[in-house]
Amino acid sequence: MRLFDSHAHIGLIHEDPIEQLIVVQEAKQAGVVGIVSICNSLRDFSTVYENLKSVSHVYHAVGVAPSEVTSPGRDWELKIEESVRLPRVVAIGETGLDYYRKFGDRDSQIELFIRQLELAEKFDLPVIIHNREAGKDVLEILREKLPPRGGILHCFSENWDFARKALELNLYISFAGNVTYRNARDLQEVARKIPLDRMLVETESPFMVPSVYRGKRNRPSYLAETVKFLAEIREESPEEIAEVTCQNALTFFRIAQ
């Protein structure tokens, strides 16, 4: 079956470029036909991009995460504008809001988020959205500022009421390994109810490892376990979940395969 990992921090799995190449080739052998590499910070984007630029099934997003709000770099907007012109850069992100870790202050996070939504519209790109304990503000901002290409609520962790409101917008909901955890009942309810044509899957490597691999660092080759779990709770086949979420990702990112 074909799988597409819509969110993986490949540069955090291994710093060594050879090890990074091994990880993405291992994933391909496991049926992962596409991976979106998320930069760990804007400063690291160029290094990871260069390491993987020869790998045709790895795509890239570029952006400033909320964790970088106090030090995005003086020329961060220019860096994004230069980077989105590179081959296989398919989205801006991850960007968003994180009130759990209290990175900087809320106003600064919101300003950084909105500016990147505006850049996504300028360059006709979708956005990959981080949301941690900031759902009310995230939705309010997206209602006003979501770019025409839409966005992904990555590593979704909200309840069905939030998901229902999000689905009124041009948003996909992406599930990571945390949906497999025994205490993730609200998240599992969302996974059962969401229309399959609005679902994506991701590893969020090296984090959020599926429960069957607990104790290990996550990697794109583990994506099938999340798909199998989703299939079980939705009473659908893993092949159908894999194929539809793969096609959803290809369509969303405008990738021809």
Known binding-site residues for a divalent metal cation equal 7, 9, 94, 130, 154
68-81 in b/e burial notation, b at 16+ Cβ within 10 A? bbeebeeebeebbe
Cα Rg of the chain, angstroms? 17
Q: How far apart (Å, rounded) are the C-alpha atoms in residues 158 and 35?
A: 24
Query: Could you tell me if 188 and 226 are in contact, meaning their C-beta atoms sit under 8 angstroms apart?
Result: no
Tell which phi-psi region holds residue 45, choosing left (phi > 0), alpha (psi between -120 and 50) or beta.
Answer: alpha
Q: How far apart (Å, rounded) are the C-alpha atoms in residues 92 and 7?
A: 12
Query: Could you tell me if 210 and 222 are in contact, meaning their C-beta atoms sit under 8 angstroms apart?
Result: yes
Annotated binding site: 7, 9, 94, 130, 154
